[in-house]
Every structure is written in C-alpha cells, then in structure tokens.
A and B are shown apart, each in its own frame.
Chain A
Amino acid sequence: MKIFDVLIIGAGSIGLPVSFYLAKKGLNVGVVESLASEGRGQNRAAIGGIRATFSDPAKIKICQYSLDLIKNMKTEYGKDVDWVKGGYLYPAYDIEIENSLKNLLVKQKQFNLNIDWISAQDVNETVPGINMNKLRGGIFSPDDGSASPIKVAGAYYSLARKYGAEFFFNEVVLETKILNDKSFRIKTNKNEYSSRFLINAAGADANTIGKMVGLELPVIPDSHEAGITEPVNPFFSPMLVDIRADAESANYYFYQNKEGQLVFCITPRPPIAGTDCDNTSVFLPLVVRRMLELYPRLRNIKVRRTWRGLYPMTPDGFPIVGFTKEVENYFLAVGMCGQGFMIGPGLGLIISEIIANNSTEYDFILDQLTLYRSFVGNEILK
C-alpha cells in the first residue's frame, strides 16, 4: 500500500495545482481520479476566463494569485497556457444594471482593483461593432484575461509529476476510513492508499466523497452548455459578460481566445440541476440569438463545437475551503460554482502554504469560505 503525506481526490482544476504546489514544497503527494486523465471532469468544460474583479476579499485574493501564476507560467516554467490579458467587460443597457454595476464598483475599488466605468464610446472601441442602441457604458477591468483550461491542466499535471506527485487515474474512491492514528485509508476499485492529510477536490462529486467521512456538503451541481467557433483574426479582446436576464437565460459571456476562437457559455434560467452532460437542442439557438443581439458582427462566424459542463453550486455562490471540525486533517476545496478554473492556481498555492507551512496568512479566506457559514447572501456576479 502506498503511503502519502497528502492524498487529493480529484485531478481537476483544483486538485492539479494543489498537487503541484504541495509536491514542490517537498511533500509526498498522491492524486486519485476516477476519469482517464487530468482535467477530464469539469476543467475540460471551462471556457477559460480568469478575473480577480470580485467583490469579496477571499476570491479577490485567490484570483489575484491565479492571474499572477497563469501570467508567469511561460517565463517561470516554460509552459505556454495561452494567457491573454484581454480584460472583462460588462456592458450596461439599462439604468438598473448600470446602477448595480456601479454599486459593486465602489466596493471593488476599495480593494484597489483595476476596474472602472467606461463610456458607451469606449465600450465600442474595445468591442468594435457592439450594439450601441441604448448602450450606456460598462465596467471594464483590463488586467483580467483568459487562458486555455486544457493547457493549464496539462501544465500542472506535468509539473506535479516532475516534482514527484503520483497520479492514479481510472480509480473510483469506494471508501474512506479514518484510522486510530487519525490517518486516512482510501480504498478505490483498484488499490488502497494511506495518508496523513486528505483533500476533497472532487468537484461535482464533492458531496459523495464527503459522505464517506460523514460530512454533508451543500454542493449541488447544475449544468451549463458552452461552445467554440472557428478561429478568426483577433477583433475584440475582453470577456464580454451580458448580465441581462431574459425568459430562458440569466446571463451569457464570451471572448476570443489566443487561437482566435470565440468561446461562449450561457446560464440557463431556471438552472438545470443534475449531472447530465449531454448536449441539448435548446442551447445554440438561445445563446446565438443573445450574442447576435449584443454583437451583430458575429453573424458570420461559424460555430465549431459545443459541450455541457457542471457548476458545483453552493447555496450562496461561494466556494467551501478549509479544514473540517468533524474530521481532523480533512481539507475541503469544493463548491467552486463554475469558477474552479480561475480559482484553482491561486487556491492551490494557498492550500500548499496552509498545509505545508501552517501559514495563518490566509485565515481571512478560510473564515469567509468556511463550511460553517450561514450560506445566506448571494454572489452578485457568479
């Protein structure tokens, strides 16, 4: 039986960076994954946006780290992950949205985020040809950007392996036992492993994994469909997020990645709970209509592929991060609410500091994202 300092359940957006940063700090790391390779759960479904422009201290800190780590992947580790600093842009077409965005802005500025209101004319300059009818302006955060989820996953996988992390693919965790010395014993369909620390980074399966040690985690997946187009020469740079809701959808967003392809996604209304990841006929006509209303120039771009992925949601839209009271040395990194890709690198680094170095620097994050919060309230820009 293999014995590790830390076992991570899930080789996805969270588990991969955690495994790398822990292994780099010299810990003996094992990663158990039910799928065939790295990032095949929801990382493969992420569209690639990364922003730090939230309105709460925890996510701002984590994602500021993520942005730095992703930006420097190439110079630091020789891994090109298609980082593009294109910014995030939220256009406003009515006074209510303008007001809610501007209210948020006050808070965001308190955190020294590079984000501001720009005029309709400036919006049109950033996104040439955007529908100007009733456009009031928008908030724009130029330091945010995007990267390729599959390349980021591949980069962390290869780096983690380089530092000695061991990966066990196609292994389903069947049982988690806590032994008398408080160590963990994991039984999969193929093997048994033992470790001192156990990290639940199981994404949409977080609650199933949590139940094995008697935890009830309020993580319920719902599904979103996404698509990608053919590549064309760059013509706009930011992630465009339209937060207007209509009868069938809450919001939708899209950007042009480094390959020149548009990647887009929509939030269905009401949400579609469950773990079904098969394509539906509803998605394309719905998202395309909304995209063309906002940005008519897209009419001639060809849609290449579509897919559907899961958002492991929590009741308040914030992740659950930290040690549990019930089980010693059991760490939760779950409920990423569809933001696991952008949270992963920063959170991975932070978790490694907490576990390897007993760092207390991030206690404010653990306090905010604790499992033992009330879960009332709601993240405004999910």
Chain B
Amino acid sequence: MQRITHHPILKINNQSKTVKFKFNGEEITGFENEPVSSALIANGVKEFSIHKIQDAPQGIFCANGQCSHCTLIIDGKPVKSCITALKEGMDVKKLIHFPDLPIDNREFTDFNLQNLNCDILVIGGGPSGLTAAIELAKLGSKIILVDDKDKLGGKLLLQTHKFFGSIEDCYAGKRGIEIAEILEKELRSYPNVQVFTNSMVAALYKDKKVGIFINFENYAIVDFEGLVISSGARERNLIFPGNDLPGVFGAGAFQTLVNRDLIKSSDRVFIIGSGNVGLIAAYHALQAGITAVGIADILNEVTGYKVHADKIKRMGVPIYLGYTILTAEGDGKVERITIAQVDEDFNPVLETAKTFEVDTLLMAVGLSSIDEFYNTAVQYGFKAVKTGDADEIAEASSAMFGGRVAGLQLAKLLGYKVEINGSFYEKAEILKSKPGEVFQIEKKEISNEYMPLFYCNQEIPCNPCVSVCPFDTIKLNDNLGNIMDLPVFDGKCTKCGQCIAVCPGLAVTLVKKLYGEFAEVVLPHEFEPTFSANEFVSLTDIDGNYLEKGEVIKINYSKRYKTYLISFKVLLENAHKIAGIRVQEPEKIKPLDKAILNYLPENGIVCRCERVTVKEVVDFIEENNIHDANQLKQIRVGMGACGSRTCSVLLPGVFKMAGIDWFEVAPSTKRPLTIEIPMCALVNEKGNEVR
C-alpha cells in the first residue's frame, strides 16, 4: 500500500473503514469514502484510461474535479474518479477510448427542480471566500457558500507549512490546515450561512441565476443579489514531449494526494518551477517521505520567497536555475525526465542535458486566475466582487485580508451601511507584495548569552517572530516602515525559542558560545528526527552548503508549532553560519552519468482532452491564417471536457511559435458548463432533495 503512515505535521487517521472493491476484475482494498482515484493510486495504479488517439495511457492530472483525465467506469457509468467516493463492492474499470452509455431503460417519471435563494452567493470557500463570507455573515445577510471540496479551506487544507504574513491580520505562523479549521468554525457559527461542500458552480445565467451542482449529485438554481467570486486559480502547464504521461501532474494535485488523502503518490519527484508553490511541493514531498530529486526553473533566480528556497536547499533539494524541462519519458508512465540549460533566448542547450530517474514530474509553473465567473458577472451586470487568486495570484495571507475587504465592498454595493477601514486596503496591498530587496547578512559576534540569528535577508511581508518575542527585543528594521522589513534583535533573549518555532521560513537560529572552540546552535526541524542525542548530523549554511556534522545535544518539541527545536554542539567558527539540518543526502538525487536525449519537441501536447500536439496546432495556424482561437476548434482544441480551461494558457506561446502575436488573436469563447453534469442530476431524478 502506498500510503503515508508517518507525517511530522498531519494526523494519520487510522479510523477509516477498509472496503473491498474491484479494479479491472481484481479485488483490492481502499478506505471508505476516499476518492476512488486516491484508493487506486494507493494500490499503485497509474494508468486510468487509454486515449483513443494513439492509445495513449492517461493518468490523474488535476485531482480537483476540473479536468476529466481520471474518468473511470464505475458500476457501469463513466465518472470522474477524483470526485467519486469509494464504497464497498464498487466495480471499477479502466476507461478504454470512449465509454458505453449504460443501458437503463426505466421510464423517466420522477423529477424535481430545485430552487434556492440567498442574498449573497460565495463561489469558493478558500481563504478569501471564507473571510469574505464571514464579514458578510456578520451583517446578517443570507449567504450560500459553494465549494468543490469536502472540507472548507481551499488550498489552506493542503498547506502543512507555517504561514507568512502577520499574526494579527492573517494568522501568520500557523499552518494552513489549522487556519482553515478556525475560519470554517467561525463561518459555520452563523445561522444565516448555508454551506454546500463537494459542490460546484456550473454556470452563471443571464436571468440572474446561478446553477450549482450539489454533492456532485443534484442540481439547483440559485437566486441571489450579490456574488463573491473567490474561485481561486488553476495551475498552468508547459508543452514538452511526454507532458501527458501518467506521472506528470500539477503541484496542487500532488498536495491534494499527499496532504489531503495521505497517499504516497510517488517515490521520487522532480519539480518544474521555483515559485512558492514549487518550493512548498518539495517540502511537502520530504515530509511525506518522498525523495525530492530537484527543482528546475528557466529563470536564473528563484521566483518564490528566498527564505523558502533557502530552507528547501538546506534540506538538501538542489535548485537548477536556468534549466528547462526537455522530456518526460517512460513505458506508459514517467520513469525519467531530462532537463537542460537554456541560452539567453530561452532555447535549450542540448549538450547540457541532465537525466534524472523519477516516477513523478510536478508542474509548478504558475497559476492563472479562474476569472471567467467574474467576467461573466460583469458582462451580465451582476453585483459582484472578486477576491483571492480569482482576482490576483498572491499568498493566502493576502487572500484572507483581501477577502474581508471584498466582502465589505460587496456589502456597500448592496446598500449596507458599512465602513471600510482605510488601513485594510493598505494591509491587503502589503500582504500581496512581491519579494523585495535582498540584503547581506551581517556577521554577529557570538557571546555567552543566547541570541537569535536571522537567515531572513529578503524583504517579504512577514513578522511573526516580532509578535511572539516575550521581551519585544525582536523588531523590524525601519527601512520601509511596514511588515516587509527585516527582523533585528537587540537586547535580552531568554531562549524561549518561540521565534525559531514560529518562523515559516525556518530561518531563525539561537546561538551561544559554549567553551573553547565550541558553540551551541538551536535549529528548527519540521520532520520526525531520525537521530537522537549525541549523534552527529549534517548541518548546512543558509544556502544548503555542507558545513559540519554537529553533535545533537538535546531535542525539544514545540507542540504549539509542531516543530522540533534541536540543540547542536558545533564549531564556534561555524556557529554564525549554520542555518539548517540536511534531511536528504546528495548521493540519492544525482542525475544519470549520461543524459538520455530523445528530444522530439513537436510531440508535446497542447490540448490534453483531445490530445492535439503542438505541431498539429502550429501547422493548422500557419496553413489557415488563423487569428481567432475559436478556429482551433476545427482541430478539436478546446472541445474537450475542460472547455479549453487547461490549454488556453498555452495558446499565446503556440501562436507565437506560428509567428502570430497573441494580441492580434481573438480569444476563445468560454461557455458553461464549468463541470459536466449527468442529465438525471440536472432534473434531480428520483426526487433527491438538496441536502
């Protein structure tokens, strides 16, 4: 069983009931009510379907109900397995090409059209939707919140790391999973709030209604006065040969499998993209006991927070900057990937190729806002606000603040008498700031007294270390005058260790001179220690360069922050440089001695649903003077289940390859439904009531 049995942060639930089910006739087991897709992955299944084009094997891709790559035949019906709960005795079969429609000739007699009404419909219960809904609930409006997951919190639920930001505004220092619980509890405490989980908005309609697919079983039409659109973002993708092999999936999908479903989806992952999502994916992999072989980014610098990247490097994950993905290869699944350096025009230099043996390639190449709901709402003249990633891709800390502002803005639009505190806007802006300047770390003289050292030298919106210090001796320098500033220590330290434990970047240490040429360094550690007192452990500098094997003096655990604080005896000369504990040794993650180069870039897939290659699209554009993305529907691009939601972000690049400037191309029209809905559900056959 490929399940996660130990995790430093997540609670392993052993209470789930084991059920038996069949996959392609063979009896296997899974946990009741977990997604069928997760149960299969736990059983080592990678291939979910065979595409009609070239009989290409297809695996899970979004794990999020958005695409349809996990479609299986379950009890005779074609369904998306990532949103289907596992039950005892299910008969699950691989989908080969197209499904047969089940023969069910029972007369259709019993149906039921459902109507709901509310003042405000909130689309998406992630960090911004929850906070917006809470602000509006306080005003007494009747609220319906719709979210596609079984628990509220959106991406917060997948985040086992501590948050950046500030404690007073956005729970900094707590982990996403904990914040989600706090917000959900608060929201549900209002009697005027109705929450539909496992439910999706299928369409906004011109007659001022919204169609929602409830529990993936029923359909209801909702009347509303205002809309909060907090629908989040979808993951971007890249075009390269092998990009649709089972084993290539989004970092978000990986987080879902690993952190929500506790499935060990992989043994060895490689990550493309060094933004915060990619960096965190590496960290999540390590926590789940998965080897993070490396991170590559086409740019020459890390795009995420430096403090995050440094943390990952210290743990022993190399970041290959200036590298692009060439291929993912393997027999029906990812078995190896090859990257290469790029020249100044971002073209790969094949001589620099490196091949790594991995079973999973995670795409973390950015997010794009799910903005079609908002655009439609504006087009139809509805009163609506957008917030969170649906508005602008930013950190969850900013989203939680932005949500509060957006909720109040909508209240104003709807005629409620509310005051929006001017500082709210300012804070929301600061919290979504891009990382600022990087400063040199000053060398500190180490004394006989404990003092904190900060390996946090890039301005980012974060200050929990300041908030937790009991003596107020940690302050922000006054460079910018806001929470982007860097922390400095001046005065007294009691070795309480809170600043170390709370820091999301694991970027604070405590140091003290011991005797002779030795010093003590206290380091944070977010893994179950694999060592005990008096053992020697590899320690690194801020960038992950090996410094020495430090001797473990003592292991403490901060229950509140779920973080170990580990004291080491180290050389005095290294004490001001030691910033982290290596958890992954370099031997395990080296590339093959010789790169395997089998590079046919024209085979990269643009439209995953219909499996249209980049060559087919470029040739079609060139031959037919294409200047409207809708024309690509002639070769089926955008005609699949996802409605061009996955490939539309790739099209600007594809048109560029064909020599056409994207700004001269008419965009493809996005139409409802957002999710495919069975006909019986659209009319609520069998008189199913909305729960």
Q: Which residues on A are within 8 Å of B, measured CB to CB?
A: 36-38, 40, 44, 128-129, 131, 133, 150-151, 154, 157-158, 161, 169, 229-233, 235, 259-260, 276, 278-282, 284-285, 288-289, 291-293, 296-307
Contacts and interface: CB of A to CB of B under 8 A. Distances in A.
Q: Name, among A40, A289, A297, A304, the residue most crowded by chain B CB atoms within 10 Å (CB to CB).
A: A304
Contacts of B104: 296-297, 299-300
A300 B676 contact: no
A151 B107 contact: no
7 contacts: A133-B107, A233-B98, A278-B205, A281-B203, A299-B678, A300-B679, A303-B677
Given A281-B207, A289-B683, A296-B104, 17 more contacts: A36-B628, A37-B626, A131-B107, A150-B633, A235-B101, A259-B639, A260-B98, A276-B206, A280-B209, A285-B113, A289-B111, A292-B108, A292-B679, A292-B685, A300-B102, A300-B104, A306-B671
Contacts of B641: 230, 304
B108 A279 contact: no
B673 A306 contact: yes
Interface in B105-120: 105-108, 111, 113
B668 to A, nearest CB: 10
B100 A297 contact: no
B682 interface: yes
B206 A288 contact: no
Nearest to A264: B679
A303 B628 CA distance: 26
Contacts of B643: 304-305
Nearest to B680: A299
B105 A296 contact: yes
Contacts of B624: 154, 157-158
B480 interface: no
A276 B685 CA distance: 31
Contacts of B98: 231-233, 260
What 3 pairs across the A-B complex have the smallest Cβ distances?
A36-B666, A37-B628, A302-B676
B631 interface: yes
Interface string B649-691: 0000000000000000010000111001111101101000000
Contacts of B380: 278
Given A129-B103, A288-B682, A299-B104, A40 B630 contact: yes
A280 B204 CA distance: 8
Nearest to B100: A233
Given A279-B671, A292-B679, A154 B634 contact: yes
A151 B639 CA distance: 13
Contacts of B435: none
Interface in B185-239: 203, 205-207, 209, 211, 219, 221
A296 B639 CA distance: 26
Nearest to A81: B634
A301 to B, nearest CB: 6
Contacts of B671: 279, 305-307
Nearest to B666: A36
B304 interface: no
Contacts of A281: 203, 205, 207, 209, 211, 221
Interface in B487-538: none
A70 to B, nearest CB: 15
Contacts of B683: 285, 288-289, 292
A300 B206 contact: no
Nearest to B208: A281
Chain B interface residue count: which class? 35 or more
Q: Name, among A44, A278, A279, the residue most crowded by chain B CB atoms within 10 Å (CB to CB).
A: A279
A296 B105 CA distance: 6
Nearest to B376: A278
Given A279-B205, A280-B205, A291 B628 contact: no
A302 B678 contact: yes
Nearest to A154: B634
Nearest to B222: A281
B289 interface: no
A301 B679 contact: yes
Interface in B612-651: 623-628, 630-631, 633-634, 639, 641, 643
Nearest to B203: A279
Nearest to A167: B625
Contacts of B99: 232-233
A230 B631 contact: no
A230 B78 contact: yes
Contacts of A304: 641, 643, 673, 676
Q: Name, among B219, B624, B679, the residue most crowded by chain A CB atoms within 10 Å (CB to CB).
A: B679
B77 interface: yes
Interface string B13-42: 000000000000000000000000000000
Contacts of B666: 36-37
Contact of B630 (A37, A131, A229): A37
Contacts of A151: 634
Nearest to B77: A300
Nearest to A40: B630
Contacts of B628: 36-37, 40, 169
A28 to B, nearest CB: 19
A279 B105 CA distance: 30
B216 to A, nearest CB: 11
B225 to A, nearest CB: 16
B673 A161 contact: no
Nearest to B684: A285
Given A38-B631, A129-B103, A304-B641, A296 B209 contact: no
A151 B623 CA distance: 15
A97 B78 CA distance: 36
A129 B107 CA distance: 10
A232 B100 contact: yes
A232 B672 contact: no
B101 A301 contact: yes
Contacts of A133: 107
B497 to A, nearest CB: 55
A42 to B, nearest CB: 14
Contacts of A307: 671
A128 B100 CA distance: 13
Contact of B672 (A38, A44, A279): A279
B173 to A, nearest CB: 44
B634 A235 contact: no
Contact of B678 (A231, A291, A297, A300): A300
B108 A303 contact: no
A290 to B, nearest CB: 10
Contacts of A158: 623-624
A69 to B, nearest CB: 18
